[in-house]
Amino acid sequence: MKASVKKKIWVPILAVALLVTASSFKSDFFEIAKQIEIFTTLFKELNMNYVDETNPGELMDSAIKNMLDELDPYTRFLNEQDVEAYKINNSGEYSGIGALVRSYESKLVIVEPYKGYAADKAGLKAGDEIIKIGETKVADFDDNASELLKGANNTSVEVTFVRQGQTKTATITREGVEVDAVPFYDMIDAKTGYIVLSRFNEKASSQTKSAIQDLKGRGAERLVLDLRGNPGGLLSEAINVTNLFVPKGELIVTTKSKVKKFNQEYRTRNQPEDENIPLVVLVDGKSASASEIVSGGLQDLDRAVIIGARSFGKGLVQRPLKLTYGTQLKVTISRYYTPSGRCIQALDYWHRDAEGNAVRNTDFKEYTTKNGRKVWDGGGVMPDVAIKSLKTNTLIDALQDNDVVFDFATNYFYDHSFANVDDFVFSDADYNAFKKYVQEQNFTFQTKTEELLEQSINADDSLLGAEVQEKYKDLLLAVNRGKISALDSYKNEIKKLLEDEIITRYFYREGLYQYFLAHDDAILTAKELLADNSKYASILK
């Protein structure tokens, strides 16, 4: 049975399968029991009488996951493999090939091999397309084929991959992989330390603390904490990282839920590492969840200046609940609120538009920080100092979502060479080559304006008339021309994405962060601000 058929059958019928976990179980007991009985009898009859053989496990997995899609993207059913991946993500340790991999229907793409780990030692590069693992073709594997790359230490796996049109093979010896929460830290100048915190796993606060101590030992009198691209993680570690800079007993997060036991206040429990050192926190549109707890908390307490672009806007808290047979339900249990009382959740998953998409909050409420500064809820953490090159829009998002930037960087890597990161320059000629590449890929995306215009064009001809229809078509052509010219309008923003992607190909993450120290707009702005005590203080007051 095809997946699309499964979804069509199951989504309207199984909207009750996991309601047994709901807190309203007692009050809705009869309705829940009734729906469970309907579901049980339907599932039994379907598997017994359907014209072809069915796979009960696959049907159930598909049904549950499609049902949960009606809620929010963070409430997920975790099968045994998902549970293991969840544990690995939190611990930061696993055994495998040591690479970030993106899964497609017929291939796995190496997004980033980690320096010095198995995939890197075997010669795999970003952009390599794995089509076969051992004797298993990725296209024939029903589940996530990336699981086949994991395994016990010192076991080997042969992969067949395509690189620049040529098919190659490599044997990779799996090994233990440690994913650092702090992959890089260094001095920006003689008095300014820089720390990258890339995830909130179990190592986040301890590694950040060690970095602070080392940098202060090297002369750091002020700090830049980089949370850009950090998708979040453990709530407890967000509290602990914030605690490094604020006193014991400070309220950082309040969670509110319909379940009374999930209504909690989270305060700092330890003495801070340094509650006075001048601090800048960098955020962007991919800084989410725990990153927003840290940046929002430090902003509300007037403990740090936030620099960058508006953060992602995830104000929801999840908790894994154990189910039977080693499975779990990772369920959204509450909303969280920063010290000023704001919830920075940007998307409203409970009020959707006509296409079923979550509605973005636009009606922001005003709150005040400890010193009386104005801040707002509902749209992520807004920076105190905005960096233009970090802003995003429909075009930039589409270039990334469609792998246009990634694929161009892959081709660029094989056409250019650099001895070290200081030699790297992405010239205007290179950017013109990128614009040509975009047009050759027949890259398309739809803006909100186009969507509205097309709806108008498809309206009743007799009502609008042919002349009006033609005017709409002319507008659409103008919009398309505007999208091409937008590649020039947003050159700086797109160029930064290209530079970041390309530098990582040559010099890994470490080289990218080293490049940032001398070239990144946000870091240079933070460095200048921290060197100006009066300006820094005036922002916080």
Active site amino acids: 289, 300, 314
- Residues ≥6 apart with Cβ < 8 Å to 244: 205, 208, 209, 212, 272, 273, 274
User: H or E stretch including 212?
Assistant: helix 204-217
Instruction: Return the C-alpha torsion angle 43, 49, 52, 53, nearest 10.
Output: 60
Which residues neighbour 24 within 8 Å (Cβ) at sequence distance 6 or greater? 258
Q: Enter the tokens of residue 414.
A: 């094989």
* CA–CA separation, 303 and 527 (whole Å): 17
Q: How far is CA 274 from the centre of its chain?
A: 29
Q: Identify residue 417 by its one-letter amino acid code.
A: S
- The 10 Å Cβ neighbour count of residue 284 is 25
- Block residue for tokens 């620099």: 307
Alpha-carbon distance of 117 to 98, in angstroms, equals 5
Contact (CB, 8 A) for 368 and 362? no
Closest CA to 285 of 310, 316, 315: 310
**Residue 506 CA: distances (Å) to CA of 219, 482, 495:** 31, 34, 17
Instruction: Name the residue among 154, 113, 151, 155 with its Cα closest to residue 130.
Output: 113
For residue 440 the two structure tokens come to 């050759």
Task: Answer for the pair 75, 333: CB distance below 8 angstroms, yes or no.
Answer: no
Helices 491-519 and 404-415 cross at an angle (nearest 10°) of 60
* Strand segments (E) across 174-248: 175-178, 184-187, 192-196, 222-226
Which helix or strand (DSSP H or E) is residue 305 part of? strand 305-308
**Calpha distance 85→94 (Å, rounded):** 9
Coil vs helix vs strand at 373 = coil
Query: How far apart, in whole angstroms, are the C-alpha atoms of residue 458 and residue 446?
Result: 16
Q: Are 321 and 263 in contact (CB under 8 A)?
A: no
Contact 154, 175 (CB under 8 A): yes
Pick the closest to residue 95 from 170, 155, 171, 145 (CA basis).
155
Q: From 151, 174, 177, 155, select the one nearest 94 (Cα to Cα).
A: 177
Residue 312 and residue 380 in contact, taking contact as beta carbons nearer than 8 Å: yes
